[in-house]
A and B are shown apart, each in its own frame.
Chain A
Amino acid sequence: MTEQGVPLKVIEIAEGIKTMRIRGAGRIARAAAEALKIAALEYGGVKEVSPFKKYVGKVADLLIATRPTAVSLPNAVMYVLASLHRANPRTFEDAVNAVVFSAEKFINESINAVKIIAETAAKRIRENSTILTHCHSSVAISAIIEAYKLGRLVKVYSTETRPIFQGRITAKQLLENGVPVVQIPDSAVRYVMHEVDHVIIGADTVASNGAVVNKIGTSQVALAAKEARVRVYVVAETYKFSPTTLIGEPVPIEFRDPAEIVPESWLRNHPRVKVLNPSFDVTPPEHIDAIITEIGVIPPQAAILVLMERLGWALDKIKQGGFAKIKFEDFTE
């Protein structure tokens, strides 16, 4: 127990998220929910509803501060806090139970989400289909494998995905599952698009207007698909929907190390060439046919619905100030 009354295990998890020991949108989200559960169970203050709520709010702030730009993290935290708020507990025990129950529910749902999404997506794949996917998304891979098991796939085109070649991981994982894969350079996306029936891609973040932030090149794939009248499905767990975009906060696009694209020696030999390495791009909602989540298939423009359903009460708080300004500690009373 630290002096603020936050259990050490919770601090450990927060540190793990901060130092990127805990990585991946799903893992981060589940770790945060787990931390709130531990915090509730090991609460050592006055056993009354009001101080307990204040304490949970403080833990929430602490967790969110570890990665201000992450999406899944605040969503997990808000999921639990929104449940606590809705439960409107009369007794201390009810309050603890509300936190523990919703944290566990979030964790289970998150683990099941990939399975549900894969099954839902596979239903949308027609017989004898050719699929194109970009980058490496574990949800997209699960969906493709599921469709393959149903006997609906003929072929998968997987893009190399420069600069890091995540497409090679995709190709490898699909081949291990017996799925026939053809790897293509990113430049060949339009060249093969006329053979493709569906594009299935993951998402890093879904904005409130339904725009999808994902690995650089995704928006180009979607554009080529739209031109060829090929359907584009985004598979994404609901915790990837970004609440802050609702108040106009842009999703920050990170420019990564140029040495990912060309070797250091090339950079040294060409000091006046600027090597620009944006890691994400934004696919507009009109280039996406549907977003497939664990709560169902939605048109991208209805992304706001997911945010309202899942986050409800907390959304109002976000509208008031964004993460930088709001203190959950004050709002849980």
Chain B
Amino acid sequence: MYNKALVLTLSSVRSLEKELIRHGFRTRYTGSELVFATLEALKEYSLSSDEKNFAKRLLATYERIVSERPASAGVLNILRTVIESFLRSGSQTIPSVIMDLKSSYEKALWTVADVACKRVSNGDVLMTNSNSLAVRRFFARLKEENIEVEVYVPESRPGLEGLLLAEYLERLGFSVNLIVDSAMRYFMKNVDKVFMGTEAVAANGAVVSKAGSSLMALAAKEARVRVYVLASLLKFSFESVYGEMIKLPEGGWELLMDAETRNTLPENYFARAPIYDVTPPDYIDAIATEYGIFSPQAIPILLREIYGSYPPSIIPLPKLVKQLEEAYRL
């Protein structure tokens, strides 16, 4: 479910080219897409299963996310809301809870885009990697506002999702330059602003994003180029407030090539392909959220405003899962 071609397919996904796959091209849910896909799946489960089975499904979903996408704060946060609601009032209200979550997240993404757009001037040259949904919403909004930009897009290995973003931006009519990840510093001198999506925002304002993001931010800092992060507060990792480390998943050679290519390399060939990396808060000029633009270090202040206290009184997910297991004897 979490690695297959997805709802938001683009033309090149449909006609996946052998050559690209040979070089490790693959589709993967972005953090936000995973939020929507998970919500959709949970909604269907809630309609088709009894309470006990739904509890089982919830647990299975949680375990799968923790093992496959442990850094996806967005999904972990919606799971928290769904499990809480389920423990409180059963599966009856789940479909409506999910509808609310979906529409409010969709709204949040557009608000983030609106906020970020204000930071862009006509004629700016931008750089952005990967293929984040928040980033796509941002560019769609730029187009609506008639703000013309030129965009440098690193291909974003592993996965090469930069190709999908380049395609999307081409369709919107922006002028797009596709480059290898190694060329980020080379072209940074031509760039005015860097924008990036998020998998998670940690308590100290560090941002977990696609592998290579921290390198892009470092090159930007060196060139005195501004770095903006697009993040709905749903991406805030509440667990990290209590010292929990955000786990960063890694893959091996299978994320970088096909089996045929692997066979041309020595048997003891070994590869490490991190999927995300962490950009320290001091390389980020601001995070654009649905509540406005904040410095990464000020996110706790924002959370305090929203939740009335800091740390926000949320129940840690592992504790909720335990309650779920006990209540339904799983």
Contacts and interface: CB of A to CB of B under 8 A. Distances in A.
A117 B183 CA distance: 28
B185 A219 contact: yes
Contacts of B175: 272, 274
Contacts of B277: 187-188, 190-191
Interface string A141-185: 000000000000000000111110000100110011000011111
A265 B265 CA distance: 27
B222 interface: yes
B266 interface: yes
Interface in B224-247: none
B170 A161 contact: no
A172 B265 contact: yes
B178 A261 contact: yes
B181 A187 contact: yes
Contacts of B155: 162, 261
B215 A270 contact: no
B272 interface: yes
Contacts of B210: 187
B211 A172 contact: no
Interface in A186-203: 186-192
A281 B181 contact: no
Given A175-B266, A265-B17, A187 B178 contact: no
Nearest to B276: A191
A101 interface: no
User: In the complex, which range does the number of interface residues on chain A fall in?
Assistant: 35 or more
User: In the complex, which range does the number of interface residues on chain B fall in?
Assistant: 35 or more
A216 B273 CA distance: 20
B79 interface: no
B185 A281 contact: yes
A161 B271 CA distance: 13
A202 to B, nearest CB: 15
Contacts of B11: 269
Contacts of B1: none
Contact of A160 (B20, B163, B169, B256): B256
A262 B12 CA distance: 12
B178 A188 contact: no
A78 B184 CA distance: 37
Nearest to A283: B185
Contact of B266 (A172, A186, A273): A172
B251 to A, nearest CB: 10
Closest 3 CB pairs of A and B: A217-B182, A187-B212, A263-B19
Interface of B: 11-12, 17, 19-20, 154-158, 163, 166-167, 169-170, 175-187, 210-212, 214-215, 218-219, 222, 253, 256, 265-266, 268-274, 277
